Structure 1
Amino acid sequence: MAKHLHYNSNLLHNVTLGYSLYDNCGALIIGFSGALSLASGREEQFLLQENCLGSPPVLGIVGDSFSTFSIAISNVLGLFKLPILVHYLQMVNFTTSFGDQVSFDENGDASPIYDIMNWQWLPDGRITVQNVGEVKKSAFKGEELTLDEDKIFWNFDSKEPPRSVCSESCPPGTRMARKKGEPECCFDCIPCSEGKISNKSDSMKCTSCPEDFWSNPKRDHCVPKKAEFLSYHEPLGICLTTTSLLGTFICAVVLGIFIYHRSTPMVRANNSELSFLLLVSLKLCFLCSLLFIGRPRLWTCQLRHAAFGISFVLCVSCILVKTMVVLAVFKASKPGGGASLKWFGAVQQRGTVLVLTCIQAAICTCWIVSASPAPHKNTEYHNDKIVYECVVGSTIGFAVLLGYIGLLAILSFLLAFLARNLPDNFNEAKFITFSMLIFCAVWVAFVPAYVNSPGKYADAVEVFAILASSFGLLVALFGPKCYIILLRPERNTKKAIMGRGTTKS
């Protein structure tokens, strides 16, 4: 600063400056004493040159390093008309011989330097004070802390530094919960609840995972939820698929047997055309069960119930017409009953089956158009899983579909039950009665099982009901015929069949 004043002629014209430095040791009284000594000319005399003695006049005083002291001193020195050059303190910046940097802030306060002292107990019981570091503040580097940790003595058994917090840091997967009545640094680490995470330490709250994600076991990140549906790759799906294909294969074999022996009395006596159509409908019943397996799509959800409903109505319609034909033939065998066959010729049989099937097709069409079944992601059963399922769309539509099948099945059962005591050559009614009894029993048990089965198990129950009823019809209606055709060919003659035509007493 003195150099700046010395070379700037505009500040102090024709004046050459020197300066004296006084240390007030942080005491205001010493600062007052030095300032008054300078103002009165009674400061220590110094030798400028060998022939020049005396005290130079005081033109100004640079204030104390603390603004508080400078203001107090200025109030006194103002009486002597001496200025305090606090403004120029901001420009002072030099380094002492000890390496300490000296500068002043905008208030005229010197940048502080603090020594950090450590009291240490010596083995002989004496206490010594060891300088272990310092804190400096400068205009350029800001605050700096220098600490020699090797010199610090910790008076603990572990000889380790003490913890500066009341509680340990909370790891990811937990959140901080302050302890009531204790300092802010005291808290508990609460694990995040299911479905929520915290992915950093000392989190104040846990964040919920997105809809299709769930928290991992550590609760530190979200993972995609597991998808659950009746899959072709799981044991249950494999068993149902294998059973479905087995039933389809058996239907194809039986159909081949009937086609190969279509000219035999056994096939011709049991209405071969309806038998072929019944076997085709049973194949469709077995195959439609495959639509219930695999990840639900819009087209599979729409097609599965429609295919199931139409296939079973086609099957039950054939059985119903066969039962009606049995009753008509028996009635026609009596005197004056020939007119009844006019209403059950081949055209009428085909027409009846077609009309009954078209009614079911109309029901399915109205159902799909008004409230179509659709795939749905269900998260209510499991928090960590997404259950993919088909919602029926309209419960009424599904109920009408099942109700129509049930109505035809009950009607077939009643007619077959009425015809159970017909002569032996018309005893197919017994097998129809038995097959309809199995069919109705399976679907009566299906309703409560389906309602109480969650997720993919509801589809498994429906597939099981389809397969069980289909196998029941296949075995009850075609098992005895295949037995005679393949293993008892001597009974597959017109004479043998007509020879059993005695009425039971």
Structure 2
Amino acid sequence: MEQCVHCLEDQYSNTEHTRCLQRHVSFLAYEDPLGMTLACMSLCFSALTALVLGAFVKYNDTPIVKANNRILSYILLISITICFLCSLLFIGHPHIVTCILQQTTFGVFFTVAVSTVLAKTITVVLAFKLTTPGKKMRGMLVSGAPKFVIPICTMVQFILCGIWLVTSPPFIDTDTHSEHGQIIIVCNKGSVIAFHFVLGYLGSLALGSFTVAFLARNLPDRFNEAKFLTFSMLVFCSVWVTFLPVYHSTKGKVMVAVEVFSILASSAGLLGCIFVPKCYVILIRPDLNSLQKFRDRSLY
């Protein structure tokens, strides 16, 4: 005990504390059951989203697709597909490029998705405002003003991510304390404040979309999707509100898995709440997807 020495960072002591052993390098790999499960979920959900996009393109002239703004629906489906695929950046051996792409891709494309939901909600509100006198609302809708919400909101997120990368970008880090006998390679987020700014901005967009959709949820129309948008934003906000305390209470590979699961769950919430009811009408009940049914229901 008079000659006790500390083991190196990449080593740990045996149970008898008589010699140092080499630590095993660990990360959330594709070969791990957890990593493989998350990767399969990501690929399956992205393929499912691509099929939904294909269905919308094939039936693009039907009333339900037209009524819910085809262009915004296409943008939303493409952004959700990329959101599912960006979770693959969190799996596998971390590199400096993947560490940077993880957060920027996640932040930017989720912003595109949420701002598209906001644009769709504003479009619904403006469409019903056309029934009241006034040319201002009509001009905003005809000129496609709600679509400008997407590039404006995305540009703000671009600026936040740019400041993050310039001041304190993510980097590769090692964790030797979470699991005994292992060195866990993780992507350190660099500036925690910038990370929370990106999440906070995304959360404020989601909260704004939820508020507008909630106010428009009772507007009368067979193809009014405000209720679906409201529920999708409720699921989205619930996932990320739950994510923060769970994320900060975990370490190592589990912390990465929690973030990946939150990305998949929130993306699946957007896909399921907004597009599953439409796909049901398009594919299962095509008799409801007709202009005559729409007119009968509106008259009723």
Shorter-chain TM range is: over 0.9
1:398 pairs with 2:195? yes
Give the deviation of 1:358 after TM superposition. Answer: 1.1
- Among 469, 472, 480, the alignment partner of 2:269 is 472
Residue 245 of structure 1 corresponds to which residue in structure 2? 43
Give the deviation of 1:382 after TM superposition. Answer: 3.5
In the alignment, structure 2 segments of 5+ residues that lack a partner are none
1:310 pairs with 2:105? no
SS at match of 2:84: helix
> What residue identity is the alignment partner of 1:293?
I
Q: Distance in 2 between matches of 1:301 and 1:317?
A: 25
For 1:195-274, what aligned pairs fall within 5 Å after superposition? 205-216=3-14, 222-274=20-72
1:282 pairs with 2:77? no
For 1:100-499, what aligned pairs fall within 5 Å after superposition? 205-216=3-14, 222-334=20-132, 336-345=133-142, 347-499=144-296
Q: Which moved more, 1:382-391 or 1:266-275?
A: 382-391
Give the deviation of 1:219 after TM superposition. Answer: 5.6
Q: Which has the higher strand share?
A: 1
- CA deviation profile, 1:100-150 (whole Å, cap 9, x unmatched): xxxxxxxxxxxxxxxxxxxxxxxxxxxxxxxxxxxxxxxxxxxxxxxxxxx
Q: Distance in 2 between matches of 1:298 and 1:278?
A: 29
In the superposition, relative to structure 1, how do residues 275 and 235 fare at CA in structure 2: closer, same or farther (>3 Å)? same
Give the deviation of 1:380 after TM superposition. Answer: 2.6
Give the deviation of 1:498 after TM superposition. Answer: 3.0
In the superposition, relative to structure 1, how do residues 237 and 300 fare at CA in structure 2: closer, same or farther (>3 Å)? same
Q: Distance in 2 between matches of 1:222 and 1:256?
A: 58
Aligned residues of 2:64 and 2:223 also touching (Cα < 8 A)? no
Q: Distance in 2 between matches of 1:369 and 1:246?
A: 35
Q: Which has the higher helix share?
A: 2
Give the deviation of 1:490 after TM superposition. Answer: 1.1
> What residue identity is the alignment partner of 2:74?
F
Q: Distance in 2 between matches of 1:277 and 1:425?
A: 23
Higher relative contact order (CA 8 A, sep 6+): 2
Give the deviation of 1:284 after TM superposition. Answer: 0.9
In the superposition, relative to structure 1, how do residues 346 and 384 fare at CA in structure 2: closer, same or farther (>3 Å)? farther
Give the deviation of 1:415 after TM superposition. Answer: 0.6
1:500 pairs with 2:294? no
TM-score, normalised relative to structure 2: 0.94
For 1:52-63, what aligned pairs fall within 5 Å after superposition? none
In the alignment, structure 1 segments of 5+ residues that lack a partner are 1-176, 178-203
Q: Distance in 2 between matches of 1:348 and 1:324?
A: 9
> What residue identity is the alignment partner of 1:462?
E
Q: Distance in 2 between matches of 1:409 and 1:498?
A: 33
TM-score, normalised relative to structure 1: 0.57
SS at match of 2:30: coil
Give the deviation of 1:350 after TM superposition. Answer: 3.2
- Aligned length in residues: 300
SS at match of 2:179: coil
Q: Distance in 2 between matches of 1:237 and 1:346?
A: 46
Percent of aligned positions that are identical? 44
Q: Distance in 1 between matches of 2:166 and 2:236?
A: 29
Aligned residues of 2:27 and 2:253 also touching (Cα < 8 A)? yes
SS at match of 1:424: coil
Give the deviation of 1:345 after TM superposition. Answer: 3.6
Q: CA RMSD in A?
A: 1.8
